[in-house]
Amino acid sequence: MFDAALSALGALLDPSLFLLLACGVLAGLVMGIIPGLGGTGAVAVLLPFAFILEPQQALALIIGAVAVVHTSDTISAVLIGVPGSASSTVTLMDGHAMAKQGQAARALSIAFLSSMAGGLLGAIGLTLSIPIARPLVLAFGSPELFMLTILGISLTATLSRGNMMKGLLAGALGVLLGQVGGAPAAADYRFTFDSLFLQEGLDLVAVALGIFGLAEVVHLVARRGAVSEVSGIGGGWRVGIRDFFTHWTHVIRGALIGIWAGVLPGVGATAGTWMAYGQAVASSKDKRKFGKGDPRGIIGPESANNSVEAGDLIPTLLFGIPGGAPAALLMGALLLYGVEPGPRLITDHLDLVYTIVWSFALASVLGAALCFGVSVPLARLSSVPFPILGAGLVVIMFVSAYQEPQQFAVLQVMLLLALLGWLMKVGGFPRAPFLIGFVLSIPMERYYFLTDRLYTTGEWLSRPGVLIMMAVLVLPLLLALRRKLARPKVEAPEAGAEDGQHLDDEDEGPQAGALDKSLLPVGLAAVFLALFAGALVLSAGFSERAALMPRIIAVVGMLLAAGVVATELRTRRRTGQRAPADWRGQVANVAVAFGWLVVFLVFVYVAGTMIAAALFIPLFLWRVGRWQPLKIVIYTLGVLAALWVLHQYAEISLPVGLYTPEVLK
């Protein structure tokens, strides 16, 4: 085994093989920066090279891309509040808060170092897993996996410190949205309203970009300022290095959580990074700074984000069970060479296994080094007026969301979710639990029915792993209740202080932190109550197995929504809060920002992406950005050229309109 490891390292340091690894790293970094593409897009672009390269060469190229996608996807999350992938929404909270304070370079350097460390620890975990992973994986049956999803969603209580009810309500809403489409345990469709598009369910990329990305674009365009409210970029990367070494224990814990999240099917990077964030919050004595620029809120999730990919390779290589789309594509590349993942891979092709391990480790270091080199100039983007960035970002996000279902309806859904995301932001409802609930909705239901079929209730509830996770779930809630009962009663705080705003940095900007003191939270909770009631009524038309989970979620959601309404009204009466005097102006600014998104959507529907971008960008930069004509022309041509390159060479699909010329299709 040691000889095979040294042999694989020696081969990888060969100039030709190392050059392919570097090319993969560059491709992965570029794909990570573009919101919505991620590891799947990177592997899909590089997979055709597997037909012309030797196995070790192809693996070095592909692993180089997979290992660094989550290193660069944090760039847009930190600088402009737009997550490069669904899992980088975690980093967005504290990283983007730092950027707003003029500390973008510090946030980026923390993220890059943590991501590199997560990749290295993930590679070590992958190596150590070769002899011991099988019994560990087999020890987790469907009961443990079901409880793990419950535990992941229940972390919303920790993440929403200050008002668990709002966090749990947001999580329940995410679970309900995840129920749209085919039922995993019955031949039935739910909440599709006879739409073929909805039968496939909603795509995670579109949901994440809508709830976080477009909602943040609307907020910043309405404000018309720069992302950073402080000139300069702060203490820079040296401060970030000190933060990284100061909180080194969070690096290790985050990486371990990420590896385990990658090993377990159905968990993945998004849930894994949120679990790492929840662990960081729960294990810290001072929790007040989380969501407001705390380095610990970046370190744990970024370490987990990269180590998840290494953990995902463990079941892929050892059992032939990919945990995610990038690992599935990698397995496809191995099968092209006649190499079948599974126990025989370890005995017959150990050199390829160590090629993957060393590629992952070296790519993590190389990717972080490249990102480090550009972190300071990249950080300056946060001081650019946001309308200038927003023009191109809107185009990129629409194109990114279109990739998976490749239907125009996904763009409409993303726009509606952007409205929901903005309302949740200004109403004080944390959006993080919503995304966790959406991601774990179907795995939770699948594992429940599998458990119900294989075990009696008493059998699976008495399993040691289930009991341990039940204790982990209940104990923090009991401790929080005890603290609340022991705390002396004081004057009720403002609504904004009770809603866990530190999660989404809701108190930043003129809209957030003002409208949440009006009746908006009450009205939004009432709307959620109506949605859950409607879901309960609609579930009557489903088969028994298909209706069980939606009914449970609907009842729980109705109770939580009613509780939030009562709590908000009681707080409002005690504190005498009223809507701000200029609330109409705030709403008008946001309505104009949403109007620009609708204009672009109409342009795309009529003329297609290229013509829509050629019309939308100049209009937006002229009316909102107040730019000079020459700069507008150069900017527009640059975006159009980038779209053409992505379409021609990266095989990125562009939405086609009703009257798109044949030459642009």
Higher pLDDT, 185 or 550: 550
Q: Is residue 96 part of a domain?
A: yes
Task: Please state the rounded mean pLDDT for residues 623-637.
Answer: 89
Rounded Cα gap, residues 40 and 46, in angstroms: 10
Confidence of residue 308 (pLDDT cuts 50, 70, 90): confident
Rounded Cα gap, residues 431 and 211, in angstroms: 7
Higher pLDDT, 147 or 535: 535
Closest CA to 565 of 533, 525, 528, 527: 525
Rounded Cα gap, residues 125 and 119, in angstroms: 10
Q: Is residue 262 part of a domain?
A: yes
Tens-place pLDDT, residues 118-139: 888 888 887 777 666 556 656 6
Q: Is residue 642 part of a domain?
A: no
Q: Please report the pLDDT score of residue 598 as a whole number.
A: 94
Q: Is residue 380 part of a domain?
A: yes
Task: Write down how long the chain is.
Answer: 665
Entry pTM: 0.71
Rounded Cα gap, residues 526 and 557, in angstroms: 11
Q: Please report the pLDDT score of residue 383 as a whole number.
A: 64
Q: Is residue 615 part of a domain?
A: no
pLDDT for 495 beyond 60: no
How far CA 263 is from CA of 140, 150, 257, 469, 482, in Å, comes to 10, 17, 10, 17, 35
pLDDT for 506 beyond 70: no
Q: Is residue 378 part of a domain?
A: yes
Q: Please report the pLDDT score of residue 503 as a whole number.
A: 45
Output the average pLDDT for the chain.
79
The number of distinct structural domains making up the chain is 1
Tally: H helices and E strands in the chain: 31, 2
Rounded Cα gap, residues 260 and 312, in angstroms: 9
Confidence of residue 561 (pLDDT cuts 50, 70, 90): very high
How far, in whole angstroms, is CA 216 from its chain's centroid? 14
How far, in whole angstroms, is CA 547 from its chain's centroid? 28
Which residue pairs, CB below 8 angstroms and at least 24 apart, start in 342-346? 342/318, 343/134, 343/318, 343/319, 345/317, 345/318, 346/130, 346/317, 346/318
Q: Is residue 618 part of a domain?
A: no
Where in the sequence is the domain holding 90, given as residue range(s)? Answer: 2-227+237-485+499-575
pLDDT for 332 beyond 90: no
**Portion of the chain with pLDDT greater than 90, in percent:** 17
Which one-letter DSSP state was computed for residue 294? -
Selection from 88-92, 266-270, 285-289, 608-612 with the highest mean pLDDT: 608-612
Q: Is residue 425 part of a domain?
A: yes
Rounded Cα gap, residues 583 and 632, in angstroms: 33
Selection from 44-58, 246-260, 425-439, 465-479 with the highest mean pLDDT: 246-260
Task: Please state the rounded mean pLDDT for residues 225-232.
Answer: 55
Q: Please report the pLDDT score of residue 376 as a whole number.
A: 64
